[in-house]
Amino acid sequence: MFGIKLRVWGDYACFTRPEMKVERVSYDVMTPSAARGILEAIYWKPAIKWIIDKIHVIKPVKFKNIRRNELKSKMSERAGGVFIEDDHTQRASVILTDVEYIIEAHFDVTGKDDAEPIKHKEMFERRAKKGQCFHHPYFGCREFPVSFELVNGDIPISELKGELDLAYMLYDIDFKNNMQALFFRAKMKDGIIDLTGEPAGSLR
């Protein structure tokens, strides 16, 4: 197992609940799939698979109601463009503000590769230290960019105390099985969501 710790933070975040069909309403905290997406934005190779072990919620959970202009439809590959004035609509969103997390994760080697596993860990750490990424990571929506840095020492203590049941949360999307959604019962203790053992108890 080759583990890493990454601190991520930003002004806004929106990890949209899938049951909300029109308006965007964020989960209370970052989802495991969003955390994996951040790691893959920094370092991705087809021979490895990132697995999220823990999400540390460092700052208190704060929501904000906003209205945003969005397009009502997606542009097709053959379309020459979209005239925004004819296709935009205003939608309400409930987003998170002033977020900070520590992602603890490791990767499994899933395919043949010339590089040794330790080399992948070293490459991720080197890229994270330099602020390099394949595309800039974001918190749920592209307009909510992520700042990140590698954590080498102890993890900061969360401001959150006690236990909190976050109900069912999206764990990940199973792309190999018709893109089925995997859910799990999320519980946070002293600001830590422990994901070891998932998705064995996940619901499809």
pLDDT digits (tens, 9 = 90+) for 142-176: 999 999 999 988 888 898 999 999 999 999 887 77
Average pLDDT for 39-60:
94
In a domain, 199, yes or no: no
Given a cut of 70, whether residue 80 has pLDDT beyond it is no
Q: How many domains does the chain have?
A: 1
pLDDT digits (tens, 9 = 90+) for 44-54: 988 889 999 99
Task: Tell me how far apart the alpha carbons of residues 98 and 148 are, in angstroms, rounded to a whole number.
Answer: 14
Task: Tell me how far apart the alpha carbons of residues 54 and 158 are, in angstroms, rounded to a whole number.
Answer: 13
CATH code of 184's domain: 3.30.70.2660
pLDDT for 73 equals 57
Pairing verdict, β 180-189 and 163-174: antiparallel
In terms of residue numbers, what domain contains 44?
A: 2-72+87-194
In a domain, 200, yes or no: no
In a domain, 201, yes or no: no
In a domain, 30, yes or no: yes
Task: Tell me how far apart the alpha carbons of residues 82 and 67 are, in angstroms, rounded to a whole number.
Answer: 21
In a domain, 108, yes or no: yes
In a domain, 80, yes or no: no
Global pTM value: 0.85
In a domain, 203, yes or no: no
Pairing verdict, β 88-109 and 24-25: parallel
Single-letter amino acid code for the residue at 13: A
In a domain, 112, yes or no: yes
